[in-house]
Structure 1
């Protein structure tokens, strides 16, 4: 299992995406405002995702909004 780094874009929970802001031992803190439809989803701006529950879709050097 590859652990995300700060700035990576990850995908989780059937298509939600976010930018990793902090990496913890067992999880990452993700900024969800990266998604274009964030306002429509009525969710908190940040969430915590366990390392087992996401996949990296863009490395930090490739991550652009």
Structure 2
């Protein structure tokens, strides 16, 4: 299992995408405001995602 790093873009929970802001032992904190339809989702700006529950889409390199 590859663990995301700060700045990576990840996909989780059926298509939600976000930028990793902090990496914890078992999870990452993700900013989901990069999504075009963020305001339609009625969600908080940040969310916590377990390492087992996401896929890395883009590296921060």
TM-score (norm 1): 0.92
After TM superposition, list the pairs within 5 Å mapping 1:18-29 onto structure 2: 18-29=18-29
Secondary structure at the aligned position of 2:2 is classed as coil
CA distance in 2, matches of 1:17, 1:26: 19
Q: Which residue of 1 aligns with 2:59?
A: 59
By how many angstroms is 1:60 displaced? 1.1
TM-score (norm 2): 0.97
For structure 1, which runs of at least 5 residues remain unmatched after alignment? none
Q: How many residues align?
A: 61
Secondary structure at the aligned position of 1:33 is classed as coil
By how many angstroms is 1:40 displaced? 0.6
Q: Which residue of 1 aligns with 2:34?
A: 34
CA distance in 1, matches of 2:32, 2:54: 13
For structure 2, which runs of at least 5 residues remain unmatched after alignment? none
